[in-house]
Structure 1
Amino acid sequence: MHTAISSGFRALLLIALCAAFLLPSVPSAPKGSAAAGRPLESRLLLVPLDGRPPCRQFVIDAGRIGGTDVMTPPSAIQDYYSQPGDTGRMRAWLMEQAGSADAIIVSIDQLLYGGLLAAREREAKKEDIEELAAFLCALRAAHPATPIYAFSILPRLMPQDTIDGYEERRDLIAYSRLVGKKAAGLPIDEAELACRKKAIPPGSLARYLAHFSENEAMSEQLIDLAEEGVLTRLVLGQDDGESYGIPNIEKNALADYIKAHGLTEKQVFLTHGADEIALTLLAAWKNEQTGFHPRVFLRCNDPSTAKNTMPYMAVSTGECAAEKIRLIGGTLADAPKDADLILAVSTNDSERDTLGSRAALADYIAKAAPETPIALVDLSRHFTAEETVLPQLLARSFPLHTLAAYAGWNTTSNALGTALAEGSIYLASPPASDKEARARAAENARFLDNRIFEDYFYLKNTIDAINRTLKKVGYENTADLDLTKNYRFANAMLQHAMRKDLAHYKKVPAFAAPFPVRRGKSAGELLRLHDAALDTSFPWPRTFEIHLEIIPSFR
């Protein structure tokens, strides 16, 4: 059974590189009658955090599951990697289109800086922030009845890329962690703190600290706009967090500011994560529309899972899960029988000898799935296929499309938010007809397969083979490729590898096994995948994320 890319496949990948250039374009495949004619009864405008698929395409695709047409700005004015988006034209597009929207989700980082990467590097003057606030007030005045959901990302612990000296970056990170521990009331080595501070060039330290103070002032102004009703809801996200650091000092100060103003989580919500926030806001809006408040039962692979803090996180997995459930308007259920959705979370760690828990969780999923929809969050501390649960389900010939959601992206907050949003949107509104129910199930199966192929097949397997090959042909930094030289080469490798995985996947019983068309928690008729094609490419000049679309055909 396929659990990882084998060494034989890696060898085949290397041999096939030249032939891969000659591969034809991906053939189009009909989605089948199950997905045809799905009515999109609502329209939502999205100004995404950036142009990567998790921030933009995921929201568009999930919108289709729930019958929402998600409109985004033209690609010509959006960001592309290190090139910021055109903030002026972005605001003009938003004002022009807002009249036809049922709701609006806007990234403050996109509207102010031109995207997440630009926000990490650029400084915003006070007048820039005031101008943005004035625009948001004008947008509200022009469309007083339209919900406006805004989100903004707090600066991460890592210094800006413009501070590029290895030693000063190392000292800044160590300094930030020590300051964070001290602020949390923990004992620290004061001599080391003084030594680290002295080693940092004053200009670099001032620029690093100014980034947080600038963002805190802007966030307070956004909180004021939420209090005034200009923003229907504001979400502040913490990107790539750690347990201790200066980012947590800012986050705690903002929490105090929110509390002092007596604001509820319906008005301002502090969360951990970034890329998944627009998707979770879509789910929250959909739940508000339909009056659906999902009751979610948390089932972990191991008793320690909820208390563990995974890489790039400032809080434990259990805290993050509870937070994401509240964000979409849900509550924690005490037992599976009381739940609309089971959130199955696995955070296996080969170094802590937890791999034996995978089989037990797979057995639980197989037994519970017929009764209650399950969203599987399949994480790995070391980002390896061997630590995941999916191979266990494949070995049991479990019908994967029975899952309401799947996510296994590297960051816990991203995966939790994505899986909960998908599962919630799928369950939120009862379909008006059998045809609509089939179409919704088909769209959910497509989204599910997209996540399985990116989060498992690509990120746990293929990415390493591609990175090694690129390095063998002279590209040392796969995080920043020279695509004028190797875009076709890299994409040919990606397409060849992923098509091999798809061909294998289509042969396993889990692929064609019938799965239920759900009407809320209850299951009705069965659908079955007949075939699938795949389209994939690198959306940015790096290998970390991919554009991926499974094109299924149903019977």
Structure 2
Amino acid sequence: MKRIYILIFLVLGLAFACWHYALHPAVPAGTIIQPNTPSKSILLIPLDGRPPCRQFVIDAGAIAGYAVNTPPSELQDYYSAPGDTAGMRKWLQENLPQQEAAIISIDQLLYGGLLAAREKEATPAQQDELIAFLRQLHQENPNKPLLAFSILPRQTPQDTIDGYQEKKDLLAYSRLKGRQYAGLPVDEGELSRLEQAISPQNMQKYLQHFDENEALNRKLIALVKEGVLTRLVLGQDDGEEYSIPNIAKAHLWAFMQQEGLPEDKAVITHGADEIALTMLTAYQNESAGYQPAIYIAYNHPATAGTIMPYMAIDMATVAREKIDLSGGREAASPDEADLILYLSANDYEQDTVSLRARNVQELKGYLNQSKHIALVDLSKHFMAQETLLPLLLAKDIPLNALTAYAGWNTASNAVGTATASASLYLSAQKNAQSPEEALGTMASNIHFLQNRILEDYFYLKEDIDTVNHTLKKAGYRNTADLDLEHNWRWANSMLQESMQKHLAAYKQSKALKAPVRIDTPQGAFTVFMDDLTMELSFPWPRTFEIYLETTPYLYQTSTS
């Protein structure tokens, strides 16, 4: 009987060992690869406290060795509560002398964040007070670059304008005025009807918002000409092809031309949340004397001319804008490129999804040639079925071989994020001084890459609709304004349970577990991910975005 028990014990032990090594294959000899310790330091006054505006910059900055320092949370905005503008200015003034440079959101310093800027007004005196502060900041730190950005108002009327019909009429009026300004024919009768239907008070409030912003940006442009601001980027938030915001943008562009400012000093771009990250990338590339050559590839012949939701321009224009903004240049072919920016923007109604299998083979071919790929994986209807990632997983394409991935929100956000993070990685690798530094850079990059895959695909294409539907089914109608004491906690519980299930399955996929070869100027390395953990929550009481941080456990398996 004793022998039987011993035999059973041995069989069970063998079975357990087989199960353990199936889930956790033996890691070749070596130590875990750690991210590099930051060697440079820069300040960031973020557009607001959301992860894309703050945490993305911190995490991507680490790829290139930057410690990105941000104001303490007590000064930062929180959802509808604006930030402490006076405290923010004081913090900036006290901390800039110890830093290389500062990336500064004007909307945060003047209004207290992006949401506050959409609703609050700033008098000419308040604007002038900020301008005087920036002059003083430059005088006290003449050798510290001040890299500022300001966001043009979006077309959507302010929340303080009441009435569904009034807002609908203002949007229609804006579109007609935009077409009229562009020299296109419009229905003059309909324009006149809208002018009569909209109350004078709301018309004035709506238009004054654009006038106020244009006056502020003219003052900022003047600071660039004076040399106070090293660079100024004006972003257009949630645009359309024809609208009053485009009229304001045209006025400012003409003023920049009149002042004779080159685009490396003052530029207008589409987007908002990704601007701080692209400015950090441009600063890094300029500091390193590096201009990455980026080839734009498309998943479908129609993609280059496609205008995605919330955009005023097509995909090709977005890509070229973001390449320029991050300090890169467009390459004529994949062979001469440092990076291939692969743009996928699928729309099942236009049958672009039929080429997905071919797209996967194309990506596989690029990876087999050791090409650096930044994959932008967009969906016209924000659906998993329109994206490429499910096929990459099904075909066991090694995802850690990608240099960047993004599929978040608008085309400008996603293209800007992927282009910037990939450029930071290439620049850092080009300047790595040792194999250890090259591996540390790779570790930081894979951290950012996996953050983006888990949020942009697994949450935004898989889980957000489930969370919203469950909340609404229980009677909570407004998922953009959750109750911190009740449904916000429930939503967090749903988020964590569902995403941890995704992670458990994802960690066992061949696409994640496969060893990948990483080519760097310091040599070629083969790395293996043994494990991936994740922490996440809703940073604001709404389901639109999440805070997500992964910890990849990476090992070097061989060196060649």
Per-residue CA shift, 1:352-405, capped at 9, x if unaligned? 011112222211111112332000000010000000011121121010011110
The answer to whether 1:438 aligns with 2:454 is no
Cα distance, 1:526 vs. partner? 1.0
Aligned to 2:52: 54
- Aligned partner of 1:467: which letter? N
Aligned to 1:117: 115
C-alpha distance in structure 2 between counterparts of 1:317 and 1:338, whole Å: 22
Aligned to 1:182: 180
The TM-score normalised by the length of structure 2 is: 0.92
Farther off after superposition, 340-349 or 393-402 = 393-402
Conserved? CA contact 2:370–2:519, under 8 Å? no
Q: Give runs of aligned pairs for residues 120-135 of structure 1, distance below 5 A.
A: 120-135=118-133
C-alpha distance in structure 1 between counterparts of 2:301 and 2:503, whole Å: 34
User: Against the structure 1 CA distance between its residues 450 and 305, is the aligned structure 2 distance closer, same or farther, given a 3 Å change threshold?
Assistant: same
C-alpha distance in structure 1 between counterparts of 2:467 and 2:37, whole Å: 40
Farther off after superposition, 264-273 or 425-434 = 425-434
User: Against the structure 1 CA distance between its residues 506 and 101, is the aligned structure 2 distance closer, same or farther, given a 3 Å change threshold?
Assistant: same
**Aligned partner (choices 143, 148, 151) of residue 150 of structure 1:** 148
C-alpha distance in structure 2 between counterparts of 1:140 and 1:224, whole Å: 14
**Aligned partner (choices 275, 278, 284) of residue 276 of structure 2:** 278
Cα distance, 1:63 vs. partner? 0.9
Aligned to 2:317: 319
Per-residue CA shift, 1:384-431, capped at 9, x if unaligned? 000001112112101001111000012000000000011000000331
Aligned to 1:73: 71
Aligned to 2:526: 526
- In structure 2, stretches of 5+ residues that fail to align are 1-29, 556-560
The answer to whether 1:252 aligns with 2:253 is no
SS of residue paired to 1:283 = helix
C-alpha distance in structure 1 between counterparts of 2:180 and 2:35, whole Å: 59
Q: CA RMSD in A?
A: 1.1
- Aligned partner of 2:388: which letter? V
Cα distance, 1:41 vs. partner? 1.2
C-alpha distance in structure 2 between counterparts of 1:523 and 1:396, whole Å: 28
SS of residue paired to 2:486 = helix
- Aligned partner of 1:471: which letter? K
Cα distance, 1:211 vs. partner? 0.3
Aligned to 2:303: 305
C-alpha distance in structure 1 between counterparts of 2:451 and 2:321, whole Å: 25
User: How many percent of aligned residue pairs carry the same amino acid?
Assistant: 54
The TM-score normalised by the length of structure 1 is: 0.93
Cα distance, 1:487 vs. partner? 2.5
Aligned to 1:15: none
Aligned to 2:537: 537
C-alpha distance in structure 2 between counterparts of 1:136 and 1:192, whole Å: 45
Q: Give runs of aligned pairs for residues 185-264 of structure 1, distance below 5 A.
A: 185-264=183-262
The answer to whether 1:406 aligns with 2:385 is no
Aligned to 1:87: 85
C-alpha distance in structure 2 between counterparts of 1:539 and 1:374, whole Å: 30
Cα distance, 1:39 vs. partner? 2.6
The answer to whether 1:340 aligns with 2:307 is no
Cα distance, 1:164 vs. partner? 2.5
C-alpha distance in structure 1 between counterparts of 2:412 and 2:233, whole Å: 14
Aligned to 1:422: 421
Conserved? CA contact 2:35–2:441, under 8 Å? no
The answer to whether 1:454 aligns with 2:455 is yes
- Aligned partner of 2:527: which letter? L
The answer to whether 1:553 aligns with 2:553 is yes
SS of residue paired to 2:142 = coil
Cα distance, 1:335 vs. partner? 0.4
User: Against the structure 1 CA distance between its residues 514 and 40, is the aligned structure 2 distance closer, same or farther, given a 3 Å change threshold?
Assistant: same
Per-residue CA shift, 1:107-151, capped at 9, x if unaligned? 000000000000000000001110100111111111111111000
- Aligned partner of 1:474: which letter? G
User: Against the structure 1 CA distance between its residues 210 and 170, is the aligned structure 2 distance closer, same or farther, given a 3 Å change threshold?
Assistant: same
SS of residue paired to 2:548 = strand
Per-residue CA shift, 1:274-311, capped at 9, x if unaligned? 00000101111110111110100000011111111111
Per-residue CA shift, 1:497-552, capped at 9, x if unaligned? 100000010111011111233426x8611111101111010001100000001111
Aligned to 1:4: none
C-alpha distance in structure 2 between counterparts of 1:41 and 1:474, whole Å: 51
Cα distance, 1:34 vs. partner? 4.4
The answer to whether 1:481 aligns with 2:479 is no
User: Against the structure 1 CA distance between its residues 313 and 33, is the aligned structure 2 distance closer, same or farther, given a 3 Å change threshold?
Assistant: farther
SS of residue paired to 2:352 = coil
SS of residue paired to 2:485 = helix
SS of residue paired to 1:77 = coil
- Aligned partner of 1:286: which letter? Q
Aligned to 1:350: 348
User: Against the structure 1 CA distance between its residues 238 and 33, is the aligned structure 2 distance closer, same or farther, given a 3 Å change threshold?
Assistant: farther
SS of residue paired to 1:553 = strand
- Aligned partner of 1:533: which letter? T
Aligned to 1:17: none
Conserved? CA contact 1:283–1:424, under 8 Å? yes
Cα distance, 1:37 vs. partner? 6.1
Per-residue CA shift, 1:235-256, capped at 9, x if unaligned? 0000000011000000011110
Conserved? CA contact 1:516–1:524, under 8 Å? yes
SS of residue paired to 2:294 = strand
- In structure 1, stretches of 5+ residues that fail to align are 1-31
Stretches (4+) displaced over 3 A: 32-35
Conserved? CA contact 2:224–2:232, under 8 Å? yes
Aligned to 1:27: none
Conserved? CA contact 1:84–1:114, under 8 Å? yes
Conserved? CA contact 1:163–1:204, under 8 Å? yes
C-alpha distance in structure 1 between counterparts of 2:262 and 2:500, whole Å: 48
C-alpha distance in structure 1 between counterparts of 2:213 and 2:177, whole Å: 18
Which is greater in Rg? 2
Farther off after superposition, 511-520 or 241-250 = 511-520
C-alpha distance in structure 1 between counterparts of 2:345 and 2:215, whole Å: 36
Aligned to 1:388: 387
C-alpha distance in structure 2 between counterparts of 1:396 and 1:554, whole Å: 22
- Aligned partner of 1:224: which letter? A
Conserved? CA contact 2:307–2:315, under 8 Å? yes
SS of residue paired to 1:355 = helix
Q: Give runs of aligned pairs for residues 161-180 of structure 1, distance below 5 A.
A: 161-180=159-178
Aligned to 1:8: none
User: Against the structure 1 CA distance between its residues 438 and 146, is the aligned structure 2 distance closer, same or farther, given a 3 Å change threshold?
Assistant: same
Conserved? CA contact 2:45–2:105, under 8 Å? yes
User: Against the structure 1 CA distance between its residues 33 and 142, is the aligned structure 2 distance closer, same or farther, given a 3 Å change threshold?
Assistant: farther
Aligned to 1:501: 502
Cα distance, 1:33 vs. partner? 4.9
SS of residue paired to 1:406 = strand
Conserved? CA contact 1:427–1:518, under 8 Å? no
C-alpha distance in structure 2 between counterparts of 1:118 and 1:495, whole Å: 30
Cα distance, 1:262 vs. partner? 1.0
C-alpha distance in structure 2 between counterparts of 1:514 and 1:134, whole Å: 55
- Aligned partner of 1:145: which letter? N
The answer to whether 1:103 aligns with 2:101 is yes
Aligned to 2:372: 373
Conserved? CA contact 1:79–1:86, under 8 Å? yes
Conserved? CA contact 2:35–2:443, under 8 Å? no
Conserved? CA contact 1:516–1:523, under 8 Å? no
SS of residue paired to 1:461 = helix
Conserved? CA contact 1:35–1:440, under 8 Å? no
User: Against the structure 1 CA distance between its residues 325 and 449, is the aligned structure 2 distance closer, same or farther, given a 3 Å change threshold?
Assistant: same
